[in-house]
Structure 1
Amino acid sequence: MPTIQAVKPVARQRVRRLSILDTPTPDACALARFGAGLSRAMERAHVDTRVVDASLLGHADVAIVQHDCDAASGELADHVGRLSVPSIAVLHSVPKSPTAQQRSSVHAIAAAADRLVVMSRAAYACLSREYAVDRGRIAVVPYGATIPGPMRMKRPSRPTILTWGWLAPGDGVERVIDAMASLKDVPGQPRYVVAGPTHPRVLAVDGDSYRDARIEQARRTGVTGSVSLDARHYDGVMLSTLLQQAAVIVLPYDTTEQTASAVLVEAIAHGRPVVATAFPHAVELLSNGAGAVVDHDDADGLAAVLRQVVTQPRLSGAMAAEARRLAPDMAWSAVAAEYLRLANELVAQLAGASAAPD
């Protein structure tokens, strides 16, 4: 598990104002939720923090921008390069096998920003090895999450296996639907809930064809009564309740490259057992027992692990306990404190450079 560095005490707080570049993505996407969550946490730490457009990005002591290889363009690096204040670039994805465009995009933002933040040790290693970025310029800070308080919650009579988030091809939902056929004999008759709307980019091109295909798959395999595709958007208290009611959260993604998953962090932060395919962030976070990782092509292994988690309370309890142990490092307060430390370091370095004799 990648833990953030212990927050070093700062003799005096130099940074009083931060700006976070707004993203042109839907409010529910990972980038938008990150910006909103970090901004709220900074405000609670009494740091004036604004989510702004590019024209106001430099009106702060330090500017924070977010980069994603699938969404970013050269304009982001241009905006950062024109800043007269220090900058921190948060890299949400660091592909292990980048396309030429992805490699160029990462190199551009790495050259423009003063510090780079990634969300896992896997991303840190990949950025330094594959993209030749100086390790001294990279920090590892988790994606933040709201840690729920103690709740007395009655879980559904049928154990819930949950996948949530934007629905799109590549989510691997079909793996779990296939596995449900082998779980028909499990006491309590577990059900598989896929919660979340179709991703807007997918919806614009293909409509709900992926969702419709999964509904047809459930019908064809005889598990219609045990599979539910819920197109509602969950957030806040509704999302927290959904996660805490789950017996296990499953991330059956096709990708073998994902070095940061906000969904995975939310699952751990809510103290739930997780079963995932072997993408890098899952391998890293679940290695100490907060869940289980299965090979992408191991259908029998996935079914077996899900059976174990929903039928063995001691196993699921141990996974949940390990998740709760990891959760505090992911709290927005801890994440904000680490970004503030990085920002203070940048401002101090700038002040030191300005004071140095010619």
Structure 2
Amino acid sequence: MTISYGFLSTYPPTQCGLATFTASLLRALTTSAPGDRAGVVRVVDSPTYLDRPEVIAQLALHSPASEEPAAAVLDRHDVVIVQHEYGIYGGADGVDLLPLLRRLRSPVIVVLHTVLGRPSTHQKLVLEQVVALAGAAVVMTEAARTLLLAEYDVAPDKITVIPHGTPEGRPPRRLEPSDRPVILTWGLLGPGKGIEWAISGMRAVRHLVPRPQYVIAGRTHPKVLTEQGEAYRLKLYARVRALGLAGLVTFERAYLEQDRLDRLIERADVVLLPYDSPDQATSGVLVEALAAYKPVIATTFPHAVETLSSGAGVLVPHRDGPAIGAALKRVLTEPGLAAGMHAEAKRIAQHSGWPVVAQRYRGLAAMLLSRMPVPL
């Protein structure tokens, strides 16, 4: 049995986590099962030139005229996989996705990248309708499943937990006594990333020998740039200066292509995820860090709590610079701690590679197709 998949999502060259996730899942699905194929309806702000053969149509935000052809293209596939985030579809809380879902006749798998613990009434209603219109909904952690069932009116038998896929692990960098330890945070920059608390935490390790270096890599999120300019980044620069950390904190402002990002991750001794939000259900950066077998320090958002509690990382409270500093000092100086975290990260990554995850999605798709009525 071969299966064709229609994806609805942002997609490269768009620079965001959903685009990267979709490209990875598409590649894993079409390479792990000979004969399976896929096409993408790319969500865009405005129509652009189609320069990737797998991108077969575009859904332009605030353009109702693009909805019907997008649905028609998706319906040419056996199963439709929809990536859901409130912010990528038009209308309040992405409500413009609902009419498109109602048009689809192929079974739909919706992948929920965010499950809010304190949704507004409208956010709750939108997500409940998205799940109701789908044949199955995927979350990436048990914590997200528990939250979804507790706070939203959704059918429990529709909810499946499939972890975020991890790329192939990279050889770890060994920390030598003469090396300068590298602490790394990467991703699109904007309020809510918690970088200000991480910078404050660097005060606790500024006297270590050799002196560590905190690298903050990534450009400002395009939507943040449009609405607020570089105000958040400038605020971070000011904090570095005010705390006297200019020699310890550096910024990589460009969006990093994967090869360059891989080299940067390989250099890192610790990956730091200081996110503000307690509702973050999944983090692609966390997944990539584990795939590289890196020790992780993260705030207590659900994905981190569930993934790191077995020993691959250290959890710290949100918005707590001293706690981040104390955790950094432990990982950089406590004998054997980083090595143990490395070993546990390797164990986790080996059980959640993209080929394994793709087979889970394929199994879910096959189940939905088996429930379809047989044509007379």
TM-score by length of 2: 0.86
Q: Which segments of 5 or more consecutive residues in structure 2 lack a partner in the other structure?
A: 42-56, 58-69
Q: What percent of counterpart residues are identical?
A: 39
Q: Is residue 371 of structure 2 the alignment partner of residue 354 of structure 1?
A: no
| Residue aligning to 2:112 | 91
- How far residue 16 of structure 1 moved from its aligned partner, in angstroms, is 2.2
- How far residue 329 of structure 1 moved from its aligned partner, in angstroms, is 3.0
Q: Is residue 87 of structure 2 the alignment partner of residue 67 of structure 1?
A: no
Q: Is residue 344 of structure 2 the alignment partner of residue 318 of structure 1?
A: no
| Residue aligning to 1:114 | 135
Matched to 1:78, the amino acid is P
- Distance 1:254-1:149 versus aligned 2 partners, 3 A rule: closer
- How far residue 200 of structure 1 moved from its aligned partner, in angstroms, is 0.4
- Distance 1:197-1:189 versus aligned 2 partners, 3 A rule: same
| Residue aligning to 1:334 | 356
Matched to 1:314, the amino acid is G
Q: Is residue 10 of structure 2 the alignment partner of residue 23 of structure 1?
A: yes
333-342 vs 129-138, which deviates more?
A: 129-138
Q: Following the alignment from structure 2 to structure 1, what is the Cα–Cα distance between the partners of residues 310 and 170?
A: 23
Per-residue CA shift, 1:129-178, capped at 9, x if unaligned? 11022221111112223123447778892101111000001111111111
| Residue aligning to 1:57 | 74
Match among 276, 281, 285 for residue 303 of structure 2: 281
Q: Following the alignment from structure 1 to structure 2, what is the Cα–Cα distance between the partners of residues 338 and 198?
A: 34
The answer on whether the counterparts of 1:154 and 1:245 sit within 8 Å (CA) in structure 2 is: no
Match among 181, 195, 212 for residue 173 of structure 1: 195
- Distance 1:166-1:322 versus aligned 2 partners, 3 A rule: same
Q: Following the alignment from structure 1 to structure 2, what is the Cα–Cα distance between the partners of residues 152 and 295?
A: 28
Q: Is residue 258 of structure 2 the alignment partner of residue 236 of structure 1?
A: yes
| Residue aligning to 2:29 | 42
- How far residue 306 of structure 1 moved from its aligned partner, in angstroms, is 0.4
| Residue aligning to 2:19 | 32
Q: Following the alignment from structure 2 to structure 1, what is the Cα–Cα distance between the partners of residues 115 and 363?
A: 23
Q: Following the alignment from structure 1 to structure 2, what is the Cα–Cα distance between the partners of residues 95 and 331?
A: 26
Q: Following the alignment from structure 2 to structure 1, what is the Cα–Cα distance between the partners of residues 170 and 328?
A: 27
The answer on whether the counterparts of 2:11 and 2:22 sit within 8 Å (CA) in structure 1 is: no
The answer on whether the counterparts of 2:169 and 2:349 sit within 8 Å (CA) in structure 1 is: no
- How far residue 348 of structure 1 moved from its aligned partner, in angstroms, is 1.0
Per-residue CA shift, 1:219-267, capped at 9, x if unaligned? 1110101000111212322222211211111111111111111111111
The answer on whether the counterparts of 2:75 and 2:105 sit within 8 Å (CA) in structure 1 is: yes
Matched to 1:32, the amino acid is A
Q: Following the alignment from structure 2 to structure 1, what is the Cα–Cα distance between the partners of residues 211 and 232?
A: 25
Aligned-partner SS, 2:247? helix
Q: Following the alignment from structure 1 to structure 2, what is the Cα–Cα distance between the partners of residues 74 and 318?
A: 45
The answer on whether the counterparts of 1:119 and 1:140 sit within 8 Å (CA) in structure 2 is: yes
| Residue aligning to 1:252 | 274
Aligned-partner SS, 1:225? coil
- How far residue 101 of structure 1 moved from its aligned partner, in angstroms, is 2.4
Q: Following the alignment from structure 1 to structure 2, what is the Cα–Cα distance between the partners of residues 316 and 29?
A: 30
The answer on whether the counterparts of 2:170 and 2:291 sit within 8 Å (CA) in structure 1 is: no
Q: Following the alignment from structure 1 to structure 2, what is the Cα–Cα distance between the partners of residues 235 and 114?
A: 35
| Residue aligning to 2:285 | 263
The answer on whether the counterparts of 2:173 and 2:267 sit within 8 Å (CA) in structure 1 is: no
| Residue aligning to 1:7 | none
Match among 242, 250, 265 for residue 220 of structure 1: 242
- Distance 1:148-1:335 versus aligned 2 partners, 3 A rule: same
What count of residue pairs does the alignment treat as equivalent?
Answer: 341
147-156 vs 234-243, which deviates more?
A: 147-156
Match among 203, 222, 233 for residue 225 of structure 2: 203
- Distance 1:149-1:318 versus aligned 2 partners, 3 A rule: same
| Residue aligning to 1:9 | none
Aligned-partner SS, 1:232? coil
Matched to 1:215, the amino acid is Y
The answer on whether the counterparts of 1:81 and 1:113 sit within 8 Å (CA) in structure 2 is: no
Matched to 2:14, the amino acid is D
86-95 vs 96-105, which deviates more?
A: 96-105
The answer on whether the counterparts of 1:265 and 1:330 sit within 8 Å (CA) in structure 2 is: no
TM-score by length of 1: 0.90
| Residue aligning to 2:126 | 105
Q: Following the alignment from structure 1 to structure 2, what is the Cα–Cα distance between the partners of residues 189 and 313?
A: 17
Q: Following the alignment from structure 1 to structure 2, what is the Cα–Cα distance between the partners of residues 121 and 168?
A: 27
